[in-house]
Amino acid sequence: MKYRIIYNRKANNGRGKEDSLKIKEILKDEELEFIDATSIEDYDSYFSSVPDGERCVLCGGDGTINYYINHVSEETLSKPLDYFACGTGNDFLRDIGVDAGEIVKDVNRFFKNLPTVTIGGVSAKFLNGIGYGIDGYCCEIGDIQKEKSDKPVNYTGIAIKGILFHFKPVTATVTVDDKKFIAEKTWLVPTMKGRFYGGGMMACPEQDRLSEDKKVSVMTYKTGFALKALIVFPNIFKGEHVKNKKVVSIYKGNKIKVAFDRPCALQIDGETVLGVSEYEVTT
């Protein structure tokens, strides 16, 4: 069988093409054609031109998938597509329980009924989650560091310095299916389709991306003490932060609106949006 390996060369800090070549070991007996994703001008036209009997494998990270789901029609999303993770965080792969180095067959089944986030009148689908607060701040600073150096970004270090010195908590107004909550001294308010975001943070451990009710989860992380915020924060990588009820609250719904009392950076599947005052998610 012939496989078209569509890779994002910008994935994994510019190592996307190199990482995609690892697929040769998995499909060593098959015919492979490698295609740079940036050379595809119209995804719908490209996928409609793929003959029966050939398969496409999308290679990249969560940002690559985000670009794909927002640049194809529902008809294209219904066609067979495989996925090989070549990203930095790979939270989608982690959420569906697939090990790195494996090909996910018929990945399009996970791209149905995705939620939409709207910011400043512009809407887009998202795969894993929306990060708003200290997590968005980390992406903002990380992007600045990437522009100055090719060295890997230490997001943990950025988060620690941000909590202790640079990022100040906000007052968040969170509306879940028309029920409004006010969260003062808040550090982050992510809305999640899956359980993971930010390279392994299990923000909402009970969230199910395949739930029939299509509900998403929104988490508020709040405390007036920076040291307390810092002490509890590492537990998010195991999902154990939810045990601290004074700091963490989680709500589920089909319509979420989050507003901060000052503009902050936000990230959508790892892509940074600056100066956001509010966002709205619908399922």
Q: 254-264: per-residue pLDDT in tens?
A: 999 999 999 99
Other CB atoms within 10 A of residue 257 CB: 20
What is residue 146's predicted lDDT score, i.e. its pLDDT? 85
> For residue 205, which phi and psi values (nearest 5 degrees)?
-60, -25
Output the pLDDT for position 122.
96
* Mean pLDDT over the full length of the chain: 94
| DSSP conformation class of 51 | P
Q: Is the pLDDT of residue 87 over 90?
A: no
3-state SS of the chain is CEEEEEECCCHHHHCHHHHHCCHHHHCCCCEEEEEEHHHCCCHHHHHHCCCCCEEEEEEECHHHHHHHHCCCCHHHHCCCCEEEECCCCCHHHHHCCCCCCCEECCHHHHHCCCCEEEECCEEEECCCEEEEEHHHHHHHHHHHHHHHCCCCCCHHHHHHHHHHHHCCCEEEEEEECCEEEEEEEEEECCEECCCEECCCEECCCCCCCCCCCCCEEEEEEECCCHHHHHHHHHHHHCCHHHHCCCCEEEEEECEEEEEEEEEEEEEECCEEEEEEEEEEEEC
* Strand partners of residue 279: 258
Q: How confident is the model at residue 153 (pLDDT cuts 50, 70, 90)?
A: confident
Q: Which fold has domain 116-282?
A: Tumour Suppressor Smad4 (2.60.200)
Q: Is the pLDDT of residue 126 over 90?
A: yes
Residue 51 is predicted with a pLDDT of 92
Q: Per residue in 181-202, pLDDT tens?
A: 999 999 999 999 999 998 899 9
Q: Give 24 or 112, the one with higher predicted confidence.
A: 24
Tokens 């607060």 correspond to what residue? 133
2-111 has which fold?
Rossmann fold (3.40.50)
Please give the pLDDT value at position 49: 93
Beta strands 2-7; 54-60: pairing state: parallel
Q: CA-CA distance, 105 to 125, in Å (whole number)?
A: 22
% of the chain exceeding 70 in pLDDT: 100
Asked whether residue 14 carries a pLDDT value surpassing 80, the answer given is yes
Q: pLDDT tens digit string along 29-55?
A: 999 999 999 999 999 999 999 998 899
Q: 10-14, 69-73, 166-170: which has the minimum mean pLDDT? A: 10-14
Where along the chain do its domains lie? 2-111, 116-282
Taking 80 as the threshold, does the pLDDT of residue 16 lie above it? yes
